[in-house]
Structure formats: C-alpha cells, structure tokens
Amino acid sequence: MEAASDIPPGTLYLLVLKTLARLGAMHGYGIAQYIQQTSGDVLQVEEGSLYPALQRMLIKGWVIAEWRQSENNRRARYYTLTPKGRKQMARELHKFQRGTAAITRVVEA
C-alpha cells in the first residue's frame, strides 16, 4: 500500500465543508473517516489539525455544532453546514479549482 499522503495545504476546510455537504450532520471522527475512505486512503486527516480547523469554522460561522445521540447510543458532537458555510464552500471550491487548473497548466506545459 502506498503511504498515506498529507492533505495539500489550504484544502482542509474545503474537504471538511464538502464532507458535511455530502453527509449532512457528522461528528469529527466520521468526517476524518469519510475523507480517508473517499480518497481511497490517500488522504489522512490528522486529528491535530482537524479539531482546530473545526473550531475555526465554528468561529467563522460556517458550521454549527450540537450534541446528539449517535448510532450505538453514544453521545457525539455533530457538525452541520450553515448557509454561510455553503457559500464559503463554493468560494473554496472555486479557489481550489483555479489553483489546480493553474498547476496542471504549468506541470503539463
């Protein structure tokens, strides 16, 4: 198996936002798992950067958090996207696409 790669700088927010957009409400562990699985185990989300990022998104008002009962009767903090977060996601996506397109052009030139 190829070694898991780090998440490219500046894209963690995008990944989290996108994950929440797809899953609806999800807890931190679930988000990390989803990103890891969906990326085919290529992207490894460090807890050390995930939780500060979630806090930051709370401050910015992109997500809201609430405690819920999870599947096997455990309490967990679930994050949900806000309308502001959705807008932010579009912005981040646009930025990301521009960035990758540019990189692609340079790399393939």
Site residues, other proteins (CB under 8 A)? 27-29, 46-48, 51-52, 54-56, 58-61, 67, 74-77
Element (H, E) at 107: helix 83-108
Name 29's Cβ contacts closer than 8 Å, sequence gap at least 6: 76
Q: Closest approach of Cβ 51 to other proteins, in Å? A: 5
Closer by beta carbon to other proteins, 22 or else 67: 67
Could you tell me the smallest distance in angstroms from the CB atom of residue 5 to other proteins?
A: 16
Task: Compare residues 22 and 56 and give the one whose CB is closer to other proteins.
Answer: 56
Round to whole Å and give the CA distance between 94 and 104: 15
Instruction: Compute the least distance from the CB of residue 109 to other proteins, in Å.
Output: 29
- Nearest to other proteins of 10, 61 (CB atom): 61
| Nearest alpha-carbon partner for 94 in 7, 17, 26 | 17
Contact status, residue 14 vs residue 96, Cβ threshold 8 Å: yes
